[in-house]
Structure 1
Amino acid sequence: MKILIALGTALSLNLSLNLSLAAAPARADSLVDARAAARDARLAEDPAWADLLQYELYPVTGHLRSLADDPGFFNAPDGARNPAAELDATLTRLFEPARPEAPDDHPQCRFPARHHWLRQRLALSAAQLPEQPCPRLEKWAEEITPGGVTLVFPSAYVNSPASMFGHTLLRIDPPGQTEATRLLAYTINYAAKADPTDGFTFALKGLTGRYPGTLSSSPYYVKVREYGDMESRDVWEYRLNLSPDETRQLLRHAWEIGATRFDYWFFDENCSYMILRLLDVARPGLRVAQPFYWTAIPVDTVKGVVARAGLVTDVSFRASTGTELAHRATRLDPASLDAAIAVAEGRRTPQSLGSTPQAIEQLEFADRLVSFRGHAGKLDQDEALARLKTIQTTRSQLPAIDTGTVPVPARPESGHASGRVGLAAGRLGGANALFLDLRPAYHDLTDPETGYARGAQIRFLDLGFSQREGQGWRLDRFLPVDIVSVAPRLSWTQPLSWKVRFGWERTLGAGRASGPTLAGGPGAAWEWKGLLGYVFLENQLLGHGQVEKNWAIGSGPLAGLLWDAGADTRLQLEAGRQWFNDQRLDRSVARAHLRTRLSPRDNLVAGYEWTRIGLPGNDHTERSERRLSIGWQHYF
């Protein structure tokens, strides 16, 4: 019997070898024909091929290169810069013989999107180019069950450096998906592979492309829990009209880039830009990524997708736990709210609230508050579960009531553009002056809040120049990072406000040069009838040739107030003082800034700033100066 089995195996192997040898000349002829057809059709110049290889022009030199920073993404030695060579090499590899011992390693399985596109464009039959089995890819696609695509935008979360601009990802919707089942759908997410707890380091590395970007897939309910519950971020869902075939091609390309290293850059090669390029591969000719050549701020990419006629078919809003709690708090009077908080904190039993409709709302508020604090890590998990069990047991014995729906806020795409330029005239240090400001991204406390998080300022690469009469233009500030979080404290949550900035500033008066600075500190904020007040302990390290040892470190209070005088007008008032370790140096400041919106893209602004500076020197001179300006701002 063993002899017969061995003989059969040998005959089988010999037959396979003969068939392979017989097929080799035919496969070689098919490859020659395919490469010739590709050259005749000039496929290497097709924009769809450029999308598949992530080709783009260098911003400075204009030379073509791929965004992929991994040699394994290419089949030709110079494939990162030579589309024609890469196409020839890809075709050659796709025609390689089958690998029964490692089917998933075959080039057709490693590059399924390229394989699919080339097979379609060259009309290659199964006889010319045999289809190779790809077990891992097929299992992954089967689990996801692609039917359509939804663009998901979790709003900005200023307390996480990785999410300060907001974020975009894709949800792959199976056929026949319902409201009840969409949480089970899978997502395609691209993000920097980094520990984002250190905001300064994350910003610095993100600005210089020192993090690898990675693509991942996970169930949507995991992301909803992460964004809506743990980070309290509202989530917007934009249903796209991609067909099932286009969705499958998107997944094929996601598979290709999933194992590839891309350097992650904050402003251009980021999460949102990669998502747009996935859409471009799914539908050749869409080119939705093209307008975002220099920057790809997530909210701006959402605007770009919405602006494409017919691409978005439906928009839905998913309120975060924090937003829902804020809404429910408005439905309770102060005494009832305090009682509900006492239940959530275990200082009062749920049964003590009674069984009235108001008590039911109190129980539901307490239930969500316990969950909110548990997800935020402010409550031990076992303790949170115990409190939830007690509250929910009491609540289950009471009837259902209508507690209203969370109001849907203005959609993110309705907000102002991220870039802003400003020109103003006025007085500085007793002389007539002009002021020029440029901010590529993306929002500050005086900008219109529609579509943005309240109390959040995130400015990157902020530049300011001034020209006094009879003098040339001088740099007033260059701030790669300037972040302020003004988070109002409420009876049920007491978030920490904070601020940080670093770069170059003119800190010692208009007559002295700007110098390096690092500043920031903790704070607190309160809101009352539309007035948002805040106070910070502002610490600052500055470098300048006019101070002892060329550097000084100081600290002091800064208080401010934001007031919306109307739908289109906002006033900001601030005052503060800092004392430095060089006791001869101290600074006091008071400023006012008024912004009135003229149009969706234009503001009229006016500002006043008084600064008193105690300057180091033998006579410890003090000087004060004023800056007065009125001008225009334009968003772009």
Structure 2
Amino acid sequence: MSRRARLPLTIAGLLLTVQAQAFLPTPAELVITGALALDNKADAGLNNNIKPNSSSNKDIADHPRTNTNTSGVDNNVSHIVASNTKAEQLLASWREQAKTENLAQHTTWRRLLYFFDDQKNLIGKKKDTSLVDDASFFLSEKGAQDSGAELDALLVALAEELALTHNTVVKDNTANNSVLCRFPARVQWLTDTLNIDKTSWQAECPELDEWMQKLAPEQLSIMFAEEYLDNPISAFAHTLLRIDSKASVADPSQIHHAYALNYTVDGDPNDSFPVYAIKSMTGLYDNAIEIDPYPEKLAKYLQDDERDAWTYQLNLTPSEVQQIMLHVWETKRLDLPYYFTTDNCASEVLRLIDVVRPQQHLLSRLPYAVVPSDVIQLLNEEDLLANPRYTPADNTVRQAALNQAKAAAKLGYQPLTKEAAQEIKSAERNPASSMSADSKTIRNLPIVAANNNPIDRHPLQMAQIGVGQRGDNNYIDVGVRAGFHDTLDRAAGFSQFFNLEGLAATLRLYDKDDNNSNYKQPDSVVLQNFTLLRGRSFNPVNSAQQGKTWGVSVEATRVNDGSQQDGTDHLVGSVGYETGWSWAFGTPNAGTGEMPPQLCYTLLSGTGQAGRGINKGFRVGAGVNAGCRYQINNQLRAQADLQLPYWYHGSSDESNARGHYWQPVSTLGLQYDIDKKQALRINANYEWQDRIDANDDLQLSYRRYF
């Protein structure tokens, strides 16, 4: 039967139904079902890919009838029929245009659906499958695997919305469930791309409208909170988005008019740290998208953790800001796996920008591990950052006051007693802060920005090649470090005395003299060191910095076994922990909240090592590590360190083997920065032990940061 033949019969059937039920309540859904078909059977596959909307399967409230006059129903039916005809025509046109422009494979469309076509990964993401496995995120049953099916399903849904737009009963009862309410970002992109008249729909979305009115997004900024070693989860810094309204755009200090969009891990606080870390690294926790008043989040970093913050306005157009927020609305309740190194607070910022800037492919520009400071530098390179603002943490504000008081005392203006200095340093007694007491505004403090703008830091990856001599053996070292920074590296862009290294390895190639058999030579190629993690957190006791000074190391390294006569070096697994005190000396940069530039420390240490080559296969040690780091100028730094461990192997029946002994090691390091990405370093070690075959080690290396 043709379409033209079916329509009169449909209308006649409806009129007969109305006559028969003139005095009975008529469900509006029955009225609609007879006319709202969009000729589904004639168009094969039109609705095959569409899952029923929960709201469309519910009985809509009965529409009471008060008399037998059917003229109102006739008008309603004719409205629906006319709408159907128009919707069918538009749907055919939309489909043709979408096919011609291949919109199903458009970068933006696939990113809206969480297809990661160009993201590097090590966790087995499939490019032909969406990262989202939540059925409610798709209209089509095949949407997670087929972006074309999802596009067609949205086109059909929009056509149905158009047919229903004049039926007030349906419209009122499907508020918030319309595709225009559920997926506003997708609809926005599709209507813009196909030049669809948006006034054709009249769906009501009170929840979405209320959410957008509450946030009132006019501008987005990215906030960077520096690394915080005293909380391992925050050791690699943090980024979040600041959502500004008109009021906070006009005056950025009015933070109570702004919100924070924070992407974080939805971890179990009852899990132990090792379990928490493993789950965070392997995606066993879900993500959490938090939207909170900006002052609450800022206070956590400035006051609780005492971390300086840098905020940069994102160079996005108003329409891009609105589209990002609509996309956040679509995704904010999704349970996606959180991966600490690849899908984290930093990668999410790039992903959101990629949604509205498909030509830039920001996320694919970074290595497998996405680090907040790398994101800041990338956005800066792409000219996406503007108006940097520095907000000092509470300890920085106190340090600035302490610096000023010490400078005044040195010039003889006002003496500074120990009690007065302690009053300034104490977080309990000195409530100094960048935030006002009511947390509504950022105070305009006369503090010069510290030298910790992440834009200025060296790249985190580093490769080195060095030449050296150990005892009578010459060698070449080749090494690489995935990140981050040690105390001799170029300091600009990092918090003072920052020291954290991870995933570093060094191969040593010895120049063997086969004609000389007077001494035992090492193997030609050896693994000199593999560092999983090594770091120290310095909180000088004479500064306003809160917290203890401590360090940790987990590595495989070559050590000289001093228990046996003429012992040689062996590769061992080593785990160490240090805790103690540090002091800052010298004159800090004027007007800043920086600590003095020189640092000395004394640490109590404990270390356990195991390896087949050493006596008994293990040794444990305890002792003292002491040293100083000296900033000669902006390009040259030196560090001296003395380790005094006392090692114990256990009792031994061998006459020449010692079960316990001292083995002091002195180290001197010097680094000169050629530029931001290149440096020269000298390392010299000496082991004060007469039972090893080589006491001294001297090396010159070239370091390239990338």
SS of 2:365's equivalent in the other structure is coil
1:448 aligns with 2:518: no
Q: Deviations over 1:199-238 (max 9, x none)?
A: 6555444443443222111111011211111111111111
Assess if the C-alpha contact under 8 Å between 2:647 and 2:660 holds in 1.
yes
For 2:511, the aligned partner's letter is: E
Q: Deviations over 1:562-589 (max 9, x none)?
A: 0112221111111113334424255432
1:423 aligns with 2:439: no
Report the Cα distance in structure 2 between the residues aligned to 1:45 and 1:559, rounded to whole angstroms: 60
Q: Which of 96, 100, 105 lines up with 1:45 in the alignment? A: 105
Structure 1 residue 126 displacement after superposition: 4.9
Structure 1 residue 449 displacement after superposition: 1.1
Assess if the C-alpha contact under 8 Å between 2:635 and 2:672 holds in 1.
yes
Report the Cα distance in structure 1 between the residues aligned to 2:644 and 2:132, rounded to whole angstroms: 48
SS of 1:115's equivalent in the other structure is helix
What is the aligned length? Answer: 578
Aligned to 1:259: 333
Structure 1 residue 435 displacement after superposition: 0.7
Structure 1 residue 424 displacement after superposition: 0.4
Of 244-253 and 543-552, the range deviating more from structure 2: 543-552
1:115 aligns with 2:187: yes
Of 441-450 and 461-470, the range deviating more from structure 2: 461-470
Q: Which of 148, 153, 156 lines up with 2:227 in the alignment? A: 156
Assess if the C-alpha contact under 8 Å between 1:540 and 1:553 holds in 2.
yes
Q: Which of 571, 574, 583 lines up with 1:526 in the alignment? A: 583
Aligned to 2:242: 171
Report the Cα distance in structure 2 between the residues aligned to 1:236 and 1:367, rounded to whole angstroms: 22
1:630 aligns with 2:700: yes
Report the Cα distance in structure 1 between the residues aligned to 2:28 and 2:431, rounded to whole angstroms: 63
Structure 1 residue 109 displacement after superposition: 3.2
Aligned to 2:520: none
Aligned to 2:404: 331
1:371 aligns with 2:438: no
Q: Deviations over 1:13-61 (max 9, x none)?
A: 6545556454667656644543332221111332222332332345579
Q: CA RMSD in A?
A: 3.5
Cα pair distance change 1:322/1:62, threshold 3 Å:
closer
Report the Cα distance in structure 1 between the residues aligned to 2:148 and 2:471, rounded to whole angstroms: 61
Aligned to 2:6: none
Aligned to 1:516: 573
Structure 1 residue 298 displacement after superposition: 1.0
Cα pair distance change 1:494/1:169, threshold 3 Å:
closer
Assess if the C-alpha contact under 8 Å between 1:157 and 1:163 holds in 2.
yes
Report the Cα distance in structure 1 between the residues aligned to 2:510 and 2:337, rounded to whole angstroms: 42
Aligned to 1:268: 342
For 1:480, the aligned partner's letter is: L
Report the Cα distance in structure 1 between the residues aligned to 2:364 and 2:352, rounded to whole angstroms: 12
Structure 1 residue 325 displacement after superposition: 0.5
Q: Which of 255, 258, 265 lines up with 1:192 in the alignment? A: 265
For 2:213, the aligned partner's letter is: E
Aligned to 1:469: 511
Q: Deviations over 1:587-632 (max 9, x none)?
A: 4322111100111110011111223679xxxxxx655533211010
Aligned to 1:609: 685
Structure 1 residue 252 displacement after superposition: 1.2
SS of 2:364's equivalent in the other structure is coil
SS of 1:371's equivalent in the other structure is coil
Report the Cα distance in structure 1 between the residues aligned to 2:537 and 2:130, rounded to whole angstroms: 33
Assess if the C-alpha contact under 8 Å between 2:570 and 2:613 holds in 1.
no
Assess if the C-alpha contact under 8 Å between 1:608 and 1:629 holds in 2.
yes
Of 333-342 and 429-438, the range deviating more from structure 2: 333-342
Aligned to 1:579: 646
Report the Cα distance in structure 2 between the residues aligned to 1:167 and 1:564, rounded to whole angstroms: 28
Aligned to 2:62: none
Report the Cα distance in structure 1 between the residues aligned to 2:553 and 2:171, rounded to whole angstroms: 56
Summarize the alignment of residues 237-252 of structure 1 with structure 2, pairs less than 5 Å apart: 237-252=311-326
Cα pair distance change 1:258/1:63, threshold 3 Å:
closer
The TM-score with structure 2 as length reference comes to 0.74
Report the Cα distance in structure 2 between the residues aligned to 1:127 and 1:29, rounded to whole angstroms: 17
Assess if the C-alpha contact under 8 Å between 2:678 and 2:703 holds in 1.
yes
Report the Cα distance in structure 2 between the residues aligned to 1:153 and 1:279, rounded to whole angstroms: 16
Report the Cα distance in structure 2 between the residues aligned to 1:537 and 1:366, rounded to whole angstroms: 25
Structure number with bigger Rg? 2
Report the Cα distance in structure 1 between the residues aligned to 2:144 and 2:529, rounded to whole angstroms: 38
Summarize the alignment of residues 76-475 of structure 1 with structure 2, pairs less than 5 Å apart: 79-80=143-144, 82-92=146-156, 103-126=175-198, 130=201, 132-177=203-248, 178-194=251-267, 200-309=274-383, 311-333=384-406, 335-336=415-416, 338-340=418-420, 369-371=429-431, 405-410=446-451, 411-470=453-512, 471-475=523-527
For 1:536, the aligned partner's letter is: L
SS of 2:447's equivalent in the other structure is coil
Report the Cα distance in structure 2 between the residues aligned to 1:585 and 1:90, rounded to whole angstroms: 75
Assess if the C-alpha contact under 8 Å between 1:147 and 1:243 holds in 2.
no
Aligned to 2:559: 507
SS of 1:327's equivalent in the other structure is helix
For 2:582, the aligned partner's letter is: A
Assess if the C-alpha contact under 8 Å between 1:560 and 1:572 holds in 2.
yes
Assess if the C-alpha contact under 8 Å between 2:463 and 2:703 holds in 1.
yes
The TM-score with structure 1 as length reference comes to 0.81
Gaps of 5+ in 1: 1-5, 345-361, 376-387, 389-401, 615-620
Summarize the alignment of residues 486-565 of structure 1 with structure 2, pairs less than 5 Å apart: 486-490=538-542, 495-508=547-560, 512-529=569-586, 530-547=597-614, 550-565=617-632
For 1:482, the aligned partner's letter is: R
For 1:514, the aligned partner's letter is: L
Q: Deviations over 1:352-397 (max 9, x none)?
A: xxxxxxxxxx7xx889844379x9xxxxxxxxxxxx9xxxxxxxxx
Q: Deviations over 1:180-200 (max 9, x none)?
A: 423330111111223689665
SS of 1:168's equivalent in the other structure is strand
For 2:188, the aligned partner's letter is: H
Aligned to 1:353: none
Report the Cα distance in structure 2 between the residues aligned to 1:439 and 1:47, rounded to whole angstroms: 34
Cα pair distance change 1:17/1:176, threshold 3 Å:
same
Of 566-575 and 47-56, the range deviating more from structure 2: 47-56
SS of 1:452's equivalent in the other structure is coil
Report the Cα distance in structure 1 between the residues aligned to 2:534 and 2:89, rounded to whole angstroms: 62
Report the Cα distance in structure 2 between the residues aligned to 1:541 and 1:100, rounded to whole angstroms: 70
Cα pair distance change 1:513/1:70, threshold 3 Å:
farther
Cα pair distance change 1:622/1:11, threshold 3 Å:
closer
Structure 1 residue 75 displacement after superposition: 4.9
Cα pair distance change 1:505/1:367, threshold 3 Å:
closer
Of 604-613 and 53-62, the range deviating more from structure 2: 53-62
SS of 1:454's equivalent in the other structure is coil
Aligned to 1:34: 94
For 1:433, the aligned partner's letter is: Y
Aligned to 2:19: none
Q: Deviations over 1:258-280 (max 9, x none)?
A: 22233333333221111111122
Gaps of 5+ in 2: 1-21, 38-80, 162-169, 410-414, 438-442, 513-522, 562-566, 587-596, 651-658
Cα pair distance change 1:195/1:159, threshold 3 Å:
farther
Of 228-237 and 132-141, the range deviating more from structure 2: 132-141
Assess if the C-alpha contact under 8 Å between 1:325 and 1:368 holds in 2.
no
Q: Deviations over 1:332-355 (max 9, x none)?
A: 24754644467x5xxxxxxxxxxx
% identical equivalent positions: 23
Assess if the C-alpha contact under 8 Å between 1:321 and 1:368 holds in 2.
no
Report the Cα distance in structure 2 between the residues aligned to 1:603 and 1:491, rounded to whole angstroms: 30
